Structure 1
Amino acid sequence: MQGSSRWCGGAMALMLAWLCASGSAAAQVPATAPASAVPADDAQRDGYRYYQIGDLAAPRPAPTRAGMMLVGGGDWPREAFAWMIERAGHGRIVILRASGAAEAQNEFFRDLGGITAAQTLVFENRRAASDPRVLEIVRGADGIFIAGGDQSRYVRYWKGTPLARALDAHVRAGKPIGGTSAGLAILGAYAYGAMDGGSLVSQTALNDPTGPKLTLVDDFLHLPYLQRVITDSHFGKRDRLGRLIAFLARLSQDHRRSDLVGLGIDEYTALCIDAQGEGRVFSGNGGKVWLVRPSLRADVYAQGEPLSLRAVPVIGVGADSTLRMRDFKVERPAFSELYDVESGQLIRREPTA
């Protein structure tokens, strides 16, 4: 047995390298092999890097089921990831990212466990989103996870490409998808693209919601129950309620809609949505999902002017709550608050006696 654990040396390594280079679906990495089992010269491909771990030829142990896992960033809430792995049929997870390397696949395979294999695609340009081998890997995934980083790269590299269409098709096929931080940001029908290269803070957004730093994107992914939604991550820790309200004010004006919804998700927290649109919160630190639904147009919305908007309801969705994504009703809310924005200042109304 000890000798077999070193099979990746010599001739077998050459055979594996040849199989990976040819794109053969029969290429395998033993379940105990490290992510670096993919030869270094094969990790770099045309416009992307590729890593794998586990047995790519192993059959999926159970059927897949639809589901979406929206993670607010930071540490991974393990219960949420176990939920996603179960919905992936304990099969093969494909991780998509535009920076980093094999960190997430190692965490899926080694720390969480219960999957047959994991593959990572690290995109370096837009051309890779049309690469036939990339699309083959994505189409063969039992579950897809979009890592954190810089969401502007996802927008530039993926929007309007065969990869974006493959992600929509993956979900339509009844297979789960998840994303954290930047990967969460692009799951909604609308997204903060961070196209200016920065990370917009709440006060800047409220001071001028028409400004060039507030870069919003639509018509990217088209996922069920998120057709009216814009998401935001690292929510409570980075004080992002103001900017999410500014996002919704901008979208309401640009699209002439009053039915849009914001979902802000705390760190170490996830909202998991099943095929029926029932959302549950999992958190390792008592974090919440913040449901923001302005029902009125802004009182003051003009170029270069601070935002004024009254009576914005904000509802907390906690571990004991249920969020019905069909109508955005919350059962057993963790909190219910009302906010005003007056000349760019966010003010929470005091509860009435």
Structure 2
Amino acid sequence: MMSISKNFHAVVSFFLFITYSCSAAPITPPIPPVQESYSLGRVGNTDDIESETESGLVLMGGSTDVDAAMRWMIERSGGGDFVIIRVSGGAGYNDYLYGMGGLNSVETLRLNTAEASNNEKVFEILKNAEALFIAGGDQSQYLRLWEGTKVEEAIQYLIHEKQIPIGGTSAGCAIMGEFVYTGEKGSIISQEALQNPYDERLTVRRSSLINHPFLQNTITDQHFSQRNREGRLVGFLARLKSLSENLPLKAIAVDEKTAVAIDKDGQAKVFGQANAFYLVESNADQLPETLQIQTPLTWNLGQQALKYKTVNADQNPSLDLKTWGWEWDGFWFVEAGVLKNN
């Protein structure tokens, strides 16, 4: 009996020693190396190809994407590599675009840090693109994270040297022009912008990020009719007077489920279900009659402050954005914070 007791205690002591040793110094498995997270995936051919591209620009108004405008970009990509960039969200564009056919590959990059925006691999992927599309999201983040980085350098190369089609929807559309509404201090609605065009949320400025040659002295807007943004856009233009150097300020605004496609010759056509709007100053050398802090805007100029034209896919005249010299529908003007037209 004594021998059994000794053996039992020896076994218990051994297991207690092992348990204590493991608790005191746990063995951790090796941590796998962190993978670069800029790419959300690529579908199609893993090898890059070079194709013959044609420059172009797509301004999409948000909500459901416009298939016809996407096919327009694919055609001008020459069947090459289509890249989407965004700050948030997933890779839903990959299968959607690749499923349309005619592309070598589709890849989505999520560029949500300064490191990602200056990553050499990101720079290489962007420069190898034959079409580039900027997804919806928050334009203040796009401007904060991408301006002055390798992303901007790549975009400028794609526009001016490689000359590929570039597009954007919603926030991606909002950053296309020389002038942008940043949204960095929150959103503002039309009534607020017209009652106080110096509201701290009305943040408009010049941008270097895209600033496409066809959009010089131009600001873009989206979700336009659906969110009643007409007055807000006029407020943007009034505030931009100080930056325009007496050149006519212009605007292109696009409704949801609608896109404006601008070809290499500057000819603009509309795709989709609703309208696009074109605005230009009638008298670039004249200031609004009342443009002051905490004071309703008056921009009348004989009821001809801004010329406007509304276009949809059913009418679809080809408008020349090199001249903006077409027949206008009438004028927009503002009296004491109220937008009117004739």
Could you report, residue by residue, the CA deviation over 1:78-97 in whole angstroms, capped at 9, with x for unpaired residues?
A: 11111100000111100000
TM-score normalised according to structure 1 size? 0.81
Could you report, residue by residue, the CA deviation over 1:43-75 in whole angstroms, capped at 9, with x for unpaired residues?
A: 9626x3532111121645x51111111111111
Work out the CA distance in 2 between the residues paired with 1:175 and 1:49. 21
Work out the CA distance in 1 between the residues paired with 2:147 and 2:177. 13
Please state how far the C-alpha of 1:256 moved relative to its aligned partner: 4.0
Work out the CA distance in 2 between the residues paired with 1:223 and 1:339. 26
Aligned to 2:41: 51
| 1:340 is the counterpart of 2:314 | no
SS at match of 2:215: coil
SS at match of 2:240: helix
Residue among 141, 163, 168 paired with 2:129: 141
Could you report, residue by residue, the CA deviation over 1:247-281 in whole angstroms, capped at 9, with x for unpaired residues?
A: 11100134443411011011111111111111111
Residue among 275, 297, 301 paired with 2:291: 301
Equivalent residues of 1:43, 1:50 under 8 A apart = no
Q: Which of the two has higher C-alpha Rg?
A: 2
Work out the CA distance in 2 between the residues paired with 1:327 and 1:347. 26
Aligned to 2:20: none
Equivalent residues of 1:251, 1:257 under 8 A apart = no
Work out the CA distance in 1 between the residues paired with 2:35 and 2:222. 31
Shift in CA distance, 157/120, structure 1 to aligned 2, threshold 3 Å: same
Residue among 216, 224, 239 paired with 1:227: 216
Work out the CA distance in 2 between the residues paired with 1:235 and 1:202. 11
Please state how far the C-alpha of 1:113 moved relative to its aligned partner: 2.6
Residue among 154, 158, 161 paired with 1:170: 158
Could you report, residue by residue, the CA deviation over 1:279-338 in whole angstroms, capped at 9, with x for unpaired residues?
A: 11111x2x121011122421100112111111222111233211111111336x7xx132
What percentage of residue pairs aligned between the two structures are identical?
35
Work out the CA distance in 2 between the residues paired with 1:261 and 1:188. 10
- Read off the aligned partner of 1:343 and give its amino acid letter: A
Could you report, residue by residue, the CA deviation over 1:96-151 in whole angstroms, capped at 9, with x for unpaired residues?
A: 001101012221112x2321111111122122111101101100101000000100
Residue among 323, 326, 329 paired with 1:330: 326
SS at match of 1:52: strand
Aligned to 1:317: 311
Work out the CA distance in 2 between the residues paired with 1:274 and 1:125. 33
Shift in CA distance, 258/204, structure 1 to aligned 2, threshold 3 Å: farther
Residue among 180, 183, 186 paired with 2:175: 186
Aligned to 1:246: 235
SS at match of 1:328: coil
Please state how far the C-alpha of 1:42 moved relative to its aligned partner: 9.2
Residue among 104, 107, 119 paired with 2:93: 104
Work out the CA distance in 2 between the residues paired with 1:268 and 1:328. 24
SS at match of 1:252: helix
Please state how far the C-alpha of 1:213 moved relative to its aligned partner: 0.2
Aligned to 1:291: 278
